[in-house]
Amino acid sequence: MLTRVLFAVVLLLGLTSAASAQDAKVAALGLTDHVVTQEELAKGGALPPPHFNTPGVAYALVKNLKKGDEVEIALTNDGASLMHNLRQADADGQSVLLLAGKSGVPAGGWPKGSYTAQVKVTRDGKTITEQETDAIPFD
- CATH number for the domain harbouring residue 92: 2.60.40.10
Q: CA 110, CA 31: separation in Å to the nearest integer?
A: 14
Mean pLDDT of the chain: 87
Contact 64, 20 (CB under 8 A): no
User: Domain range for residue 72?
Assistant: 23-137
Contact 124, 67 (CB under 8 A): no
Q: CA 56, CA 109: separation in Å to the nearest integer?
A: 10
Q: What is the pLDDT of residues 40-80, one digit of tens each?
A: 999 988 999 999 999 999 999 999 999 999 999 999 999 99
Q: How many domains does the chain have?
A: 1
Beta-bridge mates of residue 132: 118
**Exposed, middle or buried by CB within 10 Å (0-12, 13-18, 19+), for 120?**
buried
Is position 9 within any domain? no
